[in-house]
Amino acid sequence: MTASTRYTRHSFYVLTENSLTLVSVVLFSIILLLAIIGPTIAPYDPLTTNTASSLMPPSALHWFGTDQLGRDICSRVLVATRLDLVIAASAVSISFVIGSLLGAICGYYEGFLDWLIGRGIDVMMAFPLFVLAMALVAALGNTVVNIVYATAIINIPFYFRLARAEINVRRHSGYVEAARLSGNSNARIILTYLLPNALPTLVVQISINMGWAILNAAGLSFIGLGVRPPTAEWGIMVAQGAVLVIGGQWWVALFPGLALMIVVFCFNLLGDALRDIVDPRRRT
Amino acid sequence: MGNAQALLAIDNLSVEFRTRTGLVRALDRVSFDVSAGEIIGVVGESGSGKSVTAYTIAGILDPSAHITSGRIDFQSRDLLKLGGRARRQICGRQLSVIFQHPRIALNQIRPVGLQIEDVVRAHTSLTRAEAQRRAFDMLEAVKIADPQHCMQLYPFQLSGGMCQRIMIAMALSCNPRLLLADEPTTGLDVTTQAVIMDLIQELGKKLGMTAILITHDLALAAERCDRIVVMHAGQVMEIAPTAELFRNPMHPYTRRLGAATPGPVSDISELDIVPGSVPDLRRQNLPPCRYAERCERRIKECDIGPVPRVAVGRDHFVACKRAL
Amino acid sequence: MSSLLEVSDLKKFYKVDRSLGREKIGSDNRRSRASFLHAVDGVSFSVSESEAVGLVGESGCGKSTLSRLLAKLLDATSGSVRFCGDEIGPIAADSFTENPYRSNIQMVFQDPIDSLNPRFSAFDVIADPLRRLKHTKGQMLDSHVEAAARAVGLPGELLSRFPHQLSGGQLARIGIARAISVNPKLLILDEPTSSLDVSIQAIILKLLDGLRRQTKIAYFFVSHDLNVVRLICDRVLVMYLGIVVEAGPADIIFRIPHHPYTKALISAIPQIDPELREIKLRVDGEPLSPIDVPQDRCRFAERCPFVASKCRLERPPMREVEPAHWVACHFPLGIGRD
């Protein structure tokens, strides 16, 4: 049995062992699918307005109803899937790479560099992170790209701390000493020995982070600092629908809100499964 | 076993553990007696079940453990049938335990003097002042220099050897009838080990205490114990008085184990090995004798029927159908 | 037999920060009137080609530090280390990775589980030094790894397994295979069998002995167990609180120790055979603190049952009391008092 077949079999085992895991994986696949094909299968154009049919409750014609400008909410929710996932994935990738590398370097070398960067990160964490994101977007400008950067930056500390702790604990292990005896340079030890061993913990963080990043982007849009109308994005949609709830039009905010909730929930569940797949000690 | 003088009698004890990867049959019909006043050694390698036996006696098994059969008679009461409260009264007062890795077995955030006091007050009706006095006396008994100062120290301020002395002080503070010592000197320096074992023997004799010494070190058991129980993969292989066991080992495993110990051998070519490895205790198809698959004296009968306990001498028992 | 390794007055100190009333161990790169922890306090010895030299001592004596100094994983504070005649002592540990001698000095570690990367298969573990130091690839790599596995008695089909799927004995073999895969001249073994069961220890010891006879590799065997060292090594050094207190042929040191500490060590080891049991020499108490060890007296004086006034006034030099048998004691046992 080759290493790759064994890996696939192990992954399969992990995914099917626990029903919750299976649910989260299936859910994630659906979400991913919708992100990819969403715009194609949307029944209506998400941007087309039709004031005649504004604020219609859910019906056979409009499954999720229409918003105040007569746009089909179902189509908008579907199309927003892609945008929100892309924003979150980009932000998380950036913060994961930068935060983990920085944390690994600090955890490995310790000393003054560690002290300096660590204090910098502490300063960052002293701010309420959402407020920091707001400040960044306000300063840099109100674009989708800037939301990604802002979300990425405020998430760096989490990866930094995790990576630093994981690397620092393992730094004095026998196998790191053995690696140096075998001729591995410090860079190689960090990248091929220590970080891969820290991966299971980091992966769980990534998954939870995805949910948080989506909420973050949605939150920024909610307060008008993110995606601008008429772009379909869950946060904006919830913002616009929020005021209408009092007037009885519950569906405008509910469906995008539900979408947010389900996706975040799914990513949290997924974190555990991913860790089990990535950690070789869980292999039977 | 039927030894009327036995302080502790383990009869037919079997223990299983439910784990993620299967059911581990940790102990298989373990039986042996401990007579009053003796030091008995339970010797085995990793996976032999010696620690599980100790923990079962002390009543501190992991919740995933399941005692499937057997009884442990202590002062003619079956410990396994006792309820939690009655059990706790015995353990700590009549029956004491000292563990491996003394520094981590102690409470890190409480001065050691107070920890001894806690034990004394939990099991006796002494007042605070009397318990304090008792703690001081115990520290003197375990030969700690300057007991007054030591009482206020925390475990991290003490060396491994000193922590083990504290453990011994705690364990003996209520004059137990039986001391269970689970690898008490593993991890300590060999010079410290000698001193600690001297202490245990000396105090034991002074207090008229019986001791069960669990160890993987055959030589340690040879030097300190009156009788030895040899365990392998959860089964008792042989029981004999110490001198007899080494003069005349009857079980193939005992013989091999002795020959694999570096001490008595003068050249490495004389060092024997024990072939094979301990069987996976999760297997469904474990043979009746768990040493059979590694044994050079294996015969067809070894796989059929339970392993008998054969008396081969005065106080000398072997669990083997084809003893040497 | 020429000298493979020559160590002269090797020292390793750690600066101890006594500020705030607490002690903190730091690196020794800031000069001040601070205290120093003398982990290794002036050690000198040599190892010849294909010789097995043992180092025994208890916890805190500095044997782990010494083994890492020799393996160039740590930088020495002072002293000389000559390997094959070349001075390698001052070379920084960090840059020794690129040194051509790196593959000639290898190490086997104590804890087989801790010394193997959990994400590497057995094959990758053994192949690592070959890939990094010898740049071996492809077919050559496969055959070298398989040869190393064969040499340590590891079945080929276990090479694709991961550490958590292997037993202690198998992991120990992998550690040895990794170290010998690049054909080192000197193998430093840091308590290689201490965490193994007796039955497995016997197998590994025989394996190590066999390997040495076959490949003429030299061993520096660190252990707390004199019994084990006696079987494998030609010569033994006894270490106490950072210095060597006795050095001599393995069998002789064991039968006729001259330093009281050695005698205490030997008599503390339990023996199965009652006839081999020595009259016990017990030393109680704890060693002196290695921080700012007094240099003007015998550091074993406080615990020595035979201590005399001279011992507290003068540091005993290392003297050759018998051919090839050295002791650092004013009144070596069995030699006759001055």
In this predicted model, what pLDDT tens digit does every residue of B196-242 receive, in sequence order? 899 889 888 888 899 999 999 899 999 999 999 999 999 999 999 99
> C-alpha C124: how far from its chain's center?
26
CA of C97 vs chain A CAs: smallest distance (Å): 5
Cβ separation C206–B161 shorter than 8 A = no
* Cis check: omega of the bond before A230, within 30 degrees of 0: yes
Residues in chain B closer than 8 A to C277 (CB atoms): 223
Asked if C225's CB is within 8 angstroms of B223's CB, the reply is no
pLDDT at B25: 92
Among residues A197, A276, A281, which one has the least CA distance to residue A13?
A276
Q: In angstroms, what separates the C-alpha of B237 from chain C's closest C-alpha?
A: 16
Mutate to test the interface with A, among C64, C94, C97 (most CBs of A within 10 A): C97
Nearest to B255 by CA among B244, B246, B263, B264: B246
Tens digits of residue pLDDT in B16-38: 998 878 899 999 999 999 998 89
C199–B216 CB contact, under 8 Å: no
Write down the pLDDT at residue B229. Answer: 96
Taking an 8 Å cut-off on Cβ atoms, the answer to whether C231 and B265 are in contact is: yes
Residues 6+ apart with CB under 8 A from B10: B30, B31, B32, B33, B53, B57, B70, B71, B72, B73
B267-299 pLDDT, tens per residue? Answer: 888 888 888 888 889 888 888 999 998 898 888
User: In chain C, which among 52-91 make CB contacts under 8 A with chain A?
Assistant: 68, 71, 73
Alpha carbon of residue C289 to chain centroid = 21
pLDDT at B10 over 90: yes
* B3 confidence band (pLDDT: 50, 70, 90): low
C59: left (phi over 0), alpha (psi -120 to 50) or beta: beta
Question: B262 vs C224: CB contact, 8 Å cut-off?
Answer: no
The verdict on C304 touching A (C-beta cutoff 8 Å) is: no
- Lowest model confidence (mean pLDDT) among A179-193, B100-114, C100-114: B100-114
- Comparing CA positions, the residue from A104, A183, A178 lying closest to residue C114 is A178
Q: What is the pLDDT of residue A280?
A: 59
Sign of CA dihedral A166, A169, A174, A180: positive
Res C71: pLDDT: 95
Nearest to B19 by CA among B80, B66, B67: B66
Q: How many CA atoms lie within 13 A of A66 on its CB side?
A: 22
Name which of C118, C132, C162 is nearest A184 (Cβ-Cβ).
Answer: C132
Contact call for A197 and C117, based on CB within 8 A = yes
Q: Nearest Cα to B281, choosing from B93, B75, B21, B26?
A: B26
Q: What is the CATH number of the domain that holds A247?
A: 1.10.3720.10
In chain A, which residues touch C (CB < 8 A)?
3, 173-175, 177-186, 188, 193, 196-197, 280-281, 283
Q: Is C96 helix (H, G, I), strand (E, B) or coil?
A: helix
Query: Over pLDDT 90: what percentage of chain A?
Result: 33
Mind listing the pLDDT tens digit for each residue in A14-66?
Answer: 666 777 778 888 888 999 998 888 888 888 888 888 888 888 888 888 888 88
Neighbouring subunits of B (3+ Cβ pairs under 8 A)? C
What is the extent of the structural domain holding A86? 3-282
pLDDT of residue C19: 56
Minimum CA–CA partner of A186 in chain C: C94
Q: Do C129 and A182 touch (CB under 8 A)?
A: yes
Among C197, C201, C270, beta carbon nearest to B222: C270
- pLDDT at residue B4 in the model: 55
Locate the chain A residue with the closest alpha carbon to C119.
A280
How many Å lie between the alpha carbon of B175 and the closest alpha carbon of chain C? Answer: 25
What is d(CA A169, CA A194) in angstroms, rounded to the nearest whole number? 10
CA B84 to chain centre: 22
Place of tokens 């469904």: B284
Q: Quick one: three-class SS letters along chain A?
A: CCHHHHHHHHHHHHHHHCHHHHHHHHHHHHHHHHHHHHHHHCCCCCCCCCHHHCCCCCCCCCCCCECCCCCEHHHHHHHHHHHHHHHHHHHHHHHHHHHHHHHHHHHHHCHHHHHHHHHHHHHHHHCCHHHHHHHHHHHHCCCHHHHHHHHHHHHHHHHHHHHHHHHHHHCCCHHHHHHHHCCCCHHHHHHHHHHHHHHHHHHHHHHHHHHHHHHHHHHHHHCCCCCCCCCCCHHHHHHHHHHHHHCCCCHHHHHHHHHHHHHHHHHHHHHHHHHHHHCHHHCC
Find the CB nearest A181 among C107, C114, C162.
C107
H helix runs in C71-197, sequence order:
122-133, 138-151, 168-180
Which residues of chain C have a CB within 8 Å of the CB of A203? none
Q: Do A177 and C109 count as a contact with CB atoms less than 8 A apart?
A: yes
Nearest residue, CB atoms, A182 vs list C118, C133, C164: C133
Distance (Å) of CA A117 to CA A169, B143, B270: 18, 50, 59
pLDDT at C327: 94
For residue B232, which amino acid is it?
Answer: H
Show residues of chain A in contact with C94, CB under 8 Å: 186
Size of interface A-C (CB pairs under 8 A): 70
pLDDT above 70 as % of chain A: 92
> 3-class DSSP state for residue C14?
strand
CA distance C160 to chain A (A): 8
Q: Strand, helix or coil at B268?
A: helix
- pLDDT of A7 > 90? The answer is no
Residues 6+ apart with CB under 8 A from A143: none
Q: What stretches in chain C show pLDDT beneath 70?
A: 1, 18-33, 278, 336-338
Query: In this structure, are residues A155 and A212 in contact, taking their beta carbons and an 8 Å threshold?
Result: yes
User: In this predicted structure, what is the pLDDT of residue C18?
Assistant: 63
From C175, which residue of chain A is nearest by alpha-carbon distance? A178
* A55-85 pLDDT tens trace: 888 888 888 888 888 888 888 898 889 988 9
The answer to whether C208 faces chain A, any CB pair under 8 Å, is: no
More confident residue, A191 or B1: A191
Per CB-CB distance under 8 Å, the chain B contacts of C269 are 190, 219, 263
Q: What is the pLDDT of residues B80-99, one digit of tens each?
A: 888 778 888 787 788 899 98
The pLDDT of residue A208 is above 70: yes
Strand ranges of the sheet holding B22-35, from the earlier edge strand across to the other edge: B22-35, B6-19, B65-74, B77-78
Taking contacts as CB-CB distances below 8 angstroms, the residues of chain A near C106 are 181
pLDDT at A4: 62
Answer whether residue B1 shows pLDDT above 50. no
Residues of C in contact with A174 (CB under 8 A): 109-111, 114-116
Q: Give residue-wise pLDDT tens across range B129-172.
A: 999 999 999 999 888 888 999 999 999 888 888 899 999 999 98
How far is Cα A94 from Cα A88, in angstroms, rounded to an integer? 10
Give the tens place of pLDDT for each residue, A82-136: 988 999 999 999 999 999 999 999 999 988 999 999 999 999 999 898 899 999 9
Residue C30 pLDDT: 46
Query: What are φ and ψ of residue A163, in 5° steps?
Result: -60, -45
Which of B45, B189, B277 is opposite residue C198, by nearest beta carbon? B45
Q: Could you identify the residue written with the tokens 């204090």?
A: A119
The residues that bridge with C55 in the sheet, in sequence order, are: C222, C237
Alpha-carbon distance of B75 to B77, in angstroms, equals 6
Domain count, chain A: 1
C303 contacts in B (CB within 8 Å)?
Answer: none
> Is C282 in Cβ contact with B194 (below 8 Å)?
yes
